[in-house]
């Protein structure tokens, strides 16, 4: 639908012209177009805004400018989404982080990381509300705010 022109000749490709003609024929066959008359134009310039055109004008616009990007369903003129699209449902179960099924233990680097993480999350002293990590973060912020060198 978007492969419109030959680059070297600046003329429309026959397949694009057939596609536009098919679109116009389909649009005219819709009961909305027959009863309401003018439609919104899906060309690059009009972009389906409430600029009302007749089908000959839409044909001219599409051949001159092409369709707007990703325009596959004529939703602006009350086209329904296709109901024959198959529904797929995927039941995927994800493990929680840190869960593993096997007997494999983390390697030494991972064990060291978890050990440091546990140490940093430990409270500074009994009854304290701050951990080592939160206190380090507070000190870093204070140093940054008051331009204190390391």
Judge if 64 and 112 occupy the same domain. no
Question: Based on the structure, what is the number of domains in the chain?
Answer: 2
Q: Which of 61, 77, 93 is the last residue of a domain?
A: 77
Q: Which of 36, 60, 77 is the last residue of a domain?
A: 77
Q: If you write DSSP's letter for every residue of 75-112 in order, what string do you get? A: GGGTPPPPTTSPP------PPPTT--SSSPPP-HHHHH
Domain extent at residue 41? 14-77
Q: Could you report how far apart the first and last alpha carbons of the chain are, in Å?
A: 62
Contacts of 112 (CB under 8 A, 6+ apart): none
pTM: 0.42
Please check whether residue 19 is in contact with residue 42, taking contact to mean a CB–CB distance below 8 angstroms: no
Digit-by-digit pLDDT tens for the chain (150 residues) are: 455 566 666 677 788 888 888 877 877 776 656 555 567 787 878 777 766 677 788 888 888 888 877 776 655 555 454 544 445 444 555 555 555 555 677 889 999 999 998 988 888 888 888 888 889 989 999 999 998 887
Please report whether residue 19 resides in a domain. Answer: yes
């Amino acid at each position: 639908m978007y492969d419109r022109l030959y680059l070297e000749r600046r003329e429309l490709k026959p397949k694009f012209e057939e596609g536009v003609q098919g679109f116009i024929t389909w649009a005219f066959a819709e009961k909305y177009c027959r009863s309401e008359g003018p439609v919104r134009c899906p060309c690059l310039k009009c972009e389906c805004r409430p600029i009302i055109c007749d089908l000959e004008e839409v044909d001219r616009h599409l051949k001159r400018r092409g369709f707007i990007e990703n325009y596959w369903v004529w939703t602006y003129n009350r086209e329904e989404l296709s109901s024959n699209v198959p529904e797929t449902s995927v039941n995927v179960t994800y493990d929680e982080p840190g869960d593993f099924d096997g007997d494999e233990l983390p390697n030494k680097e991972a064990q060291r990381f978890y050990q440091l993480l546990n140490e940093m999350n430990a409270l500074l002293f009994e009854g304290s509300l701050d951990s080592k990590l939160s206190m380090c973060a507070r000190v870093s912020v204070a140093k940054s705010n008051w331009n204190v060198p390391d």
